[in-house]
Structure 1
Amino acid sequence: MSWLSRLFSSRKSAAQLDLAEAQQQALAAWRALPAPDLTRPHYQTRYIVVDVESSGLDMNHDRLISIGAVAVVNGVIDFQDVFETILRQDEVSTTDNILIHGIGGSAQRAGIDPPDALLAFLNYCAKAPLVAYHSVFDQTMIERALQRYLGVALQATWIDLAWVMPDLFRERIDAQVSLDNWLELFAIENIQRHNAVSDALATAMLLQAAISRGGGRGAKTPASFVDTEKSRRWMRRYG
């Protein structure tokens, strides 16, 4: 059996997971939400900027520990519109890992039951476009957890600022660099590095810079950012 076959054969549907009735209702309500209109201007869009902390960097085997998210609504960060959750861990991550994200063993054991934590995240996001820096890791960790605990595929629109920013600010940095390089360039302070909400907030400020510059470059919608990312990825692969 190939690795792809093993991956799909291990997936379970929501019905197979025996979710409680309230959880099934919450999941159904989220599924019924309309898809976002990605052609609307940035200043009429609710973006959700996401960051995660995990038990390690192996996307195939490590576990999702926490999710932090900050909304950018119509171009503005609403500091009341913030999400944070810690998923309860049956097995606490290593001491070295805890030293990175600061979520101790007691906090991990006392976290929210994973299905409920993930349902809260879905309710917070609705169907808004999701934004991250080097989004593949965040996306993979969240989608693996959703499949494991809720039996659903997120199927959200993800926008990766690691590809969008170099296109908008070629005169400053026209390359793949770390998030910290961009934060330093724009003098954005990250209050607590490797804290999911703090990292999401710093990235949200970077998104605001992208939105502002995009308006003058013809990139005025979420769809335009998606197209920019696709073009940069294509050029990296074939250019």
Structure 2
Amino acid sequence: MKFNWFKKIVKDYPKFWETYLSYFNENQSKEKRYVVFDCETTGLDYKSDRILSIGAVAIQNNQIIVGDFMEVFLQQDVFKPESVPIHGILREGKEEKIVEAEAVIRFLDFIKDATLIGHHVDFDIEMINQALNRLDVGKLQNQAMDTDIMYQKLKYLPQEQHSSLDELCDIYKIKKSDRHTASGDAFITGLLFLKLKRKLEI
């Protein structure tokens, strides 16, 4: 009996992941959609920390679509009381909390193939990717843009010179309402993105 050692092993992925991947079909052509998102987390170590909440809002035609948004709060399997003063999310708060798997599936269903926007977005993407890894699927396929990098390009700043979201809000006179909530930070970052996009003419 001959064995074909090079035979490709096709993995059976869950339905939600197959649906998500289908959005990247090259034959699809539609209006450009951006999704600005933010994750509140228990800390800054993407390997050991966990997502507490995800907030996201869509942008199309250079305007924030207020009705096209999502916000979820996650059950806290990892709880760090020292982080509560930053984000204000309690382990047993008034918000309805869902398990990580459901939160991530809802996020994928919301973003589809949109370009993801965030401030220091690589961290938020990595937090989502770690959650996806726990579901034994792949990584996010979306293109992404970082408002900090956009500002660096606009001002010809070196890559190592980073700016905080608060600093850029002050520079562009953006009101910092609901700061350090996922939905609030997503909305603020969306306003910043539109200002930078206009100046960079992209």
User: What TM-score does the superposition give when structure 1 sets the normalisation length?
Assistant: 0.71
- Aligned-pair CA distance for 1:74: 1.6
Aligned-partner SS, 2:191: helix
- Aligned-pair CA distance for 1:157: 1.2
Q: Which amino acid aligns with 2:174?
A: I
* Structure 1 CA distance for aligned equivalents of residues 25 and 61 of structure 2: 17
Structure 2's unaligned 5+ residue stretches are 1-10
Q: Which amino acid aligns with 2:175?
A: E
Q: Which amino acid aligns with 2:53?
A: S
Query: How many corresponding residue pairs?
Result: 188
Q: Which amino acid aligns with 2:127?
A: M
* Residue equivalent to 1:78: 65
Structure that is richer in helix per residue: 1
132-141 or 101-110, which moves further after superposition?
A: 101-110
Match of 1:87 among 74, 85, 90: 74
Match of 2:153 among 167, 173, 178: 167
* Structure 2 CA distance for aligned equivalents of residues 141 and 107 of structure 1: 22
Within a 5 Å distance, the mapping from 1:1-239 to structure 2 comes to 24-34=14-24, 44-91=31-78, 93-107=79-93, 111-170=97-156, 175-215=161-201, 220=202
* Structure 2 CA distance for aligned equivalents of residues 34 and 125 of structure 1: 12
* Structure 1 CA distance for aligned equivalents of residues 197 and 26 of structure 2: 18
User: What TM-score does the superposition give when structure 2 sets the normalisation length?
Assistant: 0.83
Aligned-partner SS, 1:67: strand
Would you identify which runs of 4 or more consecutive aligned residues in structure 1 move more than 6 Å? none
Q: Which amino acid aligns with 1:121?
A: F
The answer to whether the Cα contact below 8 Å between 1:165 and 1:210 also exists between their aligned partners in 2 is yes
51-60 or 118-127, which moves further after superposition?
A: 51-60
Q: Which amino acid aligns with 2:182?
A: A
Note the alpha carbon deviations across 1:56-76, whole angstroms, 9 max, x for none: 111221111111111111211
CA RMSD of superposed structures (Å): 2.5
Structure that is richer in strand per residue: 2
Aligned-partner SS, 1:106: coil
Identity over aligned pairs, percent: 30
* Structure 2 CA distance for aligned equivalents of residues 65 and 14 of structure 1: 29
Note the alpha carbon deviations across 1:132-188, whole angstroms, 9 max, x for none: 1111211111110111135221122121111111222459xxx42211111001110
* Structure 2 CA distance for aligned equivalents of residues 36 and 57 of structure 1: 35
The answer to whether the Cα contact below 8 Å between 2:125 and 2:140 also exists between their aligned partners in 1 is no
Structure 1's unaligned 5+ residue stretches are 1-12, 16-23, 221-239
